[in-house]
Structures are given as C-alpha cells and as structure tokens.
Amino acid sequence: MSLLPKEACLIRLFNAAGCHQWDRLAPLAREFYDLGGSLEELVATTRFLVTLIGYGPALKATLTLHKAGFMPKHVPGKVGGPPGNAFELVYTSVTDTVRAKLHDADPVLAEWIRTHLYGDIYSSPGIPLRLKQLLICSNLAMADMPDQLFGHAIAGLRFGATLQQLEEAVHLAVAVPEHSIKPAIVDEALKILTLAQRKNRRDFAGSPASQQVAVAFGSVRIPPLAPLTNGPPSMSAMSGTVAEPTPKPTQVRHVQMVTEKTIAAAPKVPKPAAGSVSQEGFAWDVLESERPPM
C-alpha cells in the first residue's frame, strides 16, 4: 500500500523545513489542504520538527506558515504534566535497555528525551505514531543515521506502516530540491528498512501495535500566556529601602609563601637582569618584588 497523497505532502514539507527551504513551505501547505489535510495535522507535523530538526527550524516553519495564513488558530497539544507513554510504545520490549544506554551516555540528556521529547512532543496528538515514524525515518535516512533508522523503522512497521511506505518516505526525503544525497546513503537506508522488516516479522509476528498514547487528563491543552515580566524586583524595591552598592571584587594575587628554611636550602642562582625572562617563562621584573632575596 502506498502513502496517502496528503501523507506524502507532509513528508515533503517536513524535510523541506529540515533543509531550511522556507519558501517551499507555503505552497506545500496549500497542496496539503487541497488534498484534504487538516489544521491539526499540519500543526502537529510542524511541531514534530523539534524531534530531529530542532526548536529553531520548528519555530521558523511555524512563523512562516502562520504569516502565510495556513495556521489561522491555535491547536491544543501535550504541555507539561506527567510524560505520555510514547517512549514505551516506540521502544516496547527494549524500553529499559534504551533508557539504560541513554542514561549511561548522559543522564540529563536522557531525562530530557524521556520526559520532554517523548513525554510531550511525541505524545502530542494531531498525527498518529505511524505517521510520526514515517517522518522520523525519512529524515534519519537523509541524515545518514542508520542505527537510529533501524529502530524507528521497526517501530513504524509495528504501528502499521508498510515497507513500501517507508521506502517511499525515504525517496521523498532524498528528493528534496537543491539538497544532494549520495546514492550510497540511499542504498544503505533501503537495506536498513529491509532488515527492519525481517526483524519485525521475526520478533513481533508482523502484528500492528497500539498507537493510542496515554497522557494525563488536562495535559493536552492550549497553555495561557505566561506572566509578563521585565525581571524579578529587587529586595530593596520591595521593601522601599535603598540598597547599599555592591563592592567591586578585588583581584588578589596569590603568592606562594616561602619559609626561611626553604630559602636557605634553595640553590644560589645568578640574579637575571630586570626585564629578562627566566627559564620558567616569567618576566623577572613582574615577579621581582615577590621573589625571595638571593
């Protein structure tokens, strides 16, 4: 089964934004709507750019489409609260193994990925996990990330994507205009997809997994504008008193104290002329006042 035309359009839009081709976004959004796409799907796809492309491109794409009139109103999304269970759905039986590897590499980054990347962004509604995996796999192939592609391709197959759809997604990504991809990278990606299909059939019997993400009640919402502030008020302003000026820190040069016994035991060396440089690389006139007498 081939990709739906509107799905193919979203994959093209996702990777055009990934390549910073901002002028292509509005025409693709218009094409997407003409194919029967919804505002919720377009917004969810644009937000999903954060997963691989980053916040900057996601914001640029959002502002571009908003200014062009393709995002006329706000759409709820997963914001805060306990993380959704998208991480567990994607990694299933290897969830603990993946978490352990991430934690071993960087515990802080691992927690960001678990709680925010998967807990909020991946768990947000708008497009199903199957389409999210197609978007991810298309970009991973273009970015030449075969290890990650293998795992996400398995997840995509488990969520109901077909090998043909994954291959189409890869071809759509690498066909982004003015973005050259080496043929060897494409060939490697297609081989990875075939290996992923074999593993999916062997380990998961080829049966589709649930795409229903569980999130806490009330965590899918349109958040209010955060309180505006120009910075926290000082304690003096709050109390009505005048604060004493903070003294400037004095730079103190630490000089090693040398005892008389150490001086007496030190070998006598000729005193260099002022302004010369010792073997240690210090200018003698700088350290003249700090050096013990000979």
pLDDT, tens digit, 9 for 90 and up, residues 192-243: 999 999 999 999 876 678 899 999 999 999 999 999 887 665 554 445 544 4
| Angle in degrees, CA 148, 87, 198, rounded to 5 | 45
Predicted pLDDT at 239: 52
Predicted pLDDT at 243: 47
Q: Return d(Cα 4, Cα 164) in angstroms, integer.
A: 12
Instruction: Report CA-CA distances (Å) from 174 to 23, 143, 201.
Output: 18, 9, 27
pLDDT above 90 (res 272): no
Domains, the chain, in order of start with CATH, read: 5-221 (1.20.1290.10), 260-290 (no CATH)
pLDDT above 60 (res 37): yes
Residue 49 in contact with residue 170, Cβ under 8 Å? no
Beta-bridged to residue 77, according to DSSP, are 221
Instruction: Give 141's contacts (C-beta < 8 A, 6+ positions apart).
Output: 149, 169, 170, 173, 174, 185, 186, 189, 192
pLDDT, tens digit, 9 for 90 and up, residues 163-176: 999 999 999 999 88
* pLDDT average, residue stretch 91-99: 94
Please report which confidence band the pLDDT of residue 110 belongs to, taking 50, 70 and 90 as the band edges. very high
pTM of this prediction? 0.77
pLDDT above 60 (res 87): yes
In terms of phi and psi (left: phi > 0; alpha: psi -120 to 50; beta: otherwise), the region of 162 is beta
Predicted pLDDT at 19: 94
Q: Return d(Cα 188, Cα 75) in angstroms, integer.
A: 38
More confident residue, 95 or 292: 95
